[in-house]
A and B are shown apart, each in its own frame.
Chain A
Amino acid sequence: MARGGLLAEYRRAWVKLVRDPSSAIGMVILTALVLSAVLAPVLATHPQDVWDVHTAERLRPPSADHYFGTDRLGSDIYSRILFGARSTIFVAIVAIVASLAIGVPIGLIAGWSGGLLGNILMRFSDIFLAVPQIVLAIAIAQTFGPSIENVILALSATYWPWFTRLVYAEVRSLKNEIFIESLVGLGASTPRIVVLHVLPNVMSPIIIRSSIGMGFTILTAATLSFLGLGAQPPDPEWGRMISESREYLPFAWWYAAAPGIAIFLVVMGFNLLGDGLRDVLDPRLRRKVEK
């Protein structure tokens, strides 16, 4: 497929994506997330509160001054949520980019070469898929010690096989396509075929998987932080905030409510976008849905 054709296809996909209600909602949520992360210092009503302690102000219910109330140290929860959006985005993007960087090349090599090498690479990635992600992530994060960096490490080390498996399956079926066979017949070098012709054609499933993976990664990262393996106080991290709030229930319900709703909305945003992308980009599924 010519690359210009692919670009035109993506432009058409974009138009469809904007018109699809669920992915449109997803994009609105994610735009809000990015804006609140970038503009956190401007939007926050008490930016300095995020790290400062005001014991006189602790555990105040939501009010005009503190939209989402205050926490155990008297910090403004609304401001902390905004700053928390930064670490949420940071963790998800770095973990997914790292998973792509590991998973896609292994999938390309395994799928293109096949045979013994392909088999060994796939069996290796299967080991990581053979254990529920959070279980392995707990073991890794615990070994390296609790910190945001090690949460990212644990997430990347456990998520890359999803990309490998996906790319492998796509490359196996692409290899039998006539245009790829023609390129081989024309004497194009293997790296040229794989990078310029195979990779662009497996981009759609990779993009879909990345969107869903971002949501999944955010949930897992929040879970690790909730278990005490992620961000350490006083850093504003949503999962950590929920775990701190448990001591003050049922009285300070707002303390637990706000970060949970934030996680829910953001993961929902990525999942809706992923569903929309699947309908728009994946022609096999599109036919099924439209019937």
Chain B
Amino acid sequence: MGYASVWKILPIVLSRAVWVVPTLLGLIVITFVLSRVIPADPVALAAGEAATVEQVEALRVKLGYDRPILAQFGTYLGNVFVGDLGRSLFTDREIVEDLADRLPATIELTLVSMFIAIALGIPLGILSAVKRNSLMDHLVRILSVGGLAVASFWLAIMLQLLFSMRLGWLPLSGRYSGFAPESATGLLLLDALLDLDFDSLSIALQHITLPALTLAIPSMATIVRFTRAGVLEVLNSGFVMYERAMGFPESTILFKYVFRNALTSTVTQIGLVFGLLLAGAVVIEAVFNWPGIGLYAYNSILQSDYNAIMGFTLWAGGIFIFVNLIVDIVHSLIDPRGTA
């Protein structure tokens, strides 16, 4: 890549990246307000029910909650900045460590789901648009409307009921049977592939099938809708009409012009899809007992572990903001209209 293109890209990247700072700051303000300002007495909550008045006051001074609110925010911001999210009341570990331990499981689940959603969603969307108003089109449209209407935690339970409890084809929950092998990358599927360990690969695949499929369904429905709309729009555009009039073969028009143009709009939906996956991960991980940050959030809700929930909120929000920044930058690079 020459200097010229670097100089062209840099301002785009910077102009997008600059907005991340106030957005992240806003997110931190929200979690600060929720954890420190709104609860009547956050210290009493942290100290537990058995604590005496003296103990609560001692903890208040120790945690710095007796200081002015702005000073507290300064400390909070500094702590978040260096990655200190406090201790979990339940696991009694640093929340950052808890989250970091569990993140690979969520990444693995999210990536496999995204793969399923894209691999099924794009072909179905194209087929539906090309064979418009056929039986196939109607079926795909019903599935895509339904996929966005179904409560994913309910679908997860129904699939568990059918495939695990009744038919016994797939494991009910968890990420691995027994103890998982020592992991180098944190991603069990990738580990097994790198070690050519096909037994582990098969076990891991069986465990990930149901959660990944359930998690993928709303995203797949979204991708089908965007792809179908995108292909239809290009099919109806002037240049396709011109190519048809010129007598180009239909397959050339479809593969060389229509799909390439339509897919650009689908690619930009990946940020949105990622949000759906991240949001869905909380309930899907809870139902399938998948040891990721979603299950951690669920357990924290059950244990009323406030710090842990705010830590999860910051991480999930931060990851989402970062992924959208990348998508935004990629979009403005591949789409010349985006740079204007």
Please report A residues at the B interface, Cβ cutoff 8 Å: 22, 123-124, 126-127, 130-136, 138-140, 142-144, 215, 219, 222-223, 226-229, 239, 242-243, 245-246, 249-250, 253, 256-257, 259-260, 263-264, 267-268, 271-272, 275, 288, 291
How many residues of B sit at the interface, in one of the four size bands?
Answer: 35 or more
Q: Does A219 lie within 8 Å of B151, measured CB to CB?
A: yes
Partner of B146, one of A124, A246, A264: A264
- Using Cβ atoms and an 8 Å threshold, which residues of chain B touch A130? 23, 26-27, 317, 320-321, 324
Rounded to whole angstroms, the CA-CA distance of A139 and B33 in the bound complex is: 11
Q: Mark B155-186, 1 if CB is under 8 A from A, else 0.
A: 10110110001100000000000000000000
Q: How many A-B residue pairs have CB under 8 A?
A: 142
Question: At the interface, yes or no: B80 with Cβ under 8 Å from chain A?
Answer: no
Q: Point out the residues of chain A lying under 8 angstroms from B146, CB to CB.
A: 264, 268
A135-B158 contact in complex given A124-B26, A271-B148, A291-B236, C-beta closer than 8 Å: no
Q: Decide yes or no: A249 and B161 within 8 Å by CB, A132-B279, A138-B301, A271-B145 being known contacts.
A: yes
Is B282 in the interface zone, CB < 8 Å from A? yes
Chain B contact residues, CB within 8 Å of chain A: 19, 22-23, 26-27, 30-31, 34-35, 38-39, 145-146, 148-151, 153-155, 157-158, 160-161, 165-166, 229, 232-233, 236, 275-276, 278-279, 282-283, 286-287, 297-298, 301-302, 304, 306, 309-310, 312-313, 316-317, 320-321, 324
Given A132-B279, A253-B161, 15 further pairs, Cβ under 8 A: A130-B26, A134-B279, A135-B282, A135-B317, A138-B301, A143-B34, A143-B35, A144-B38, A219-B149, A246-B157, A249-B157, A249-B161, A250-B161, A256-B157, A288-B232
Can you name 10 A-B pairs with beta carbons within 8 Å? Answer: A124-B26, A127-B26, A131-B321, A136-B317, A143-B38, A215-B149, A227-B298, A260-B158, A264-B151, A267-B150
Chain B hits for A124, CB < 8 A? 26
Question: Is A135 within 8 A of B148, CB to CB?
Answer: no
Q: Determine whether the beta carbon of A226 is less than 8 Å from that of B161.
A: no
**In the docked arrangement, what's the CA distance between A223 and B153, Å?**
7
CB distance from B204 to the nearest CB of A (A): 24
Asked whether, in the complex, the Cβ of B282 is within 8 Å of the Cβ of A250, the reply is no
The chain A residue with its CB closest to the CB of B25 is A127
List the 7 closest A-B pairs by CB distance, nearest first.
A127-B26, A260-B154, A250-B165, A132-B279, A131-B317, A268-B149, A267-B149
State how many angstroms separate the Cβ of B286 from the closest Cβ of chain A.
7
Which A-chain residue is minimally distant from B218 (CB atoms)? A219
Complex Cα distance, B232 from A123, in Å, reads: 34
**Alpha-carbon separation in the docked complex, A264 to B142 (Å):** 13
> Is there contact, CB below 8 Å, between B316 and A132?
yes
Given A133-B279, A136-B313, A249-B160 contact (CB < 8 Å): yes
Q: Which residues of B contact A135 (CB under 8 A)?
A: 278-279, 282, 312-313, 316-317, 320
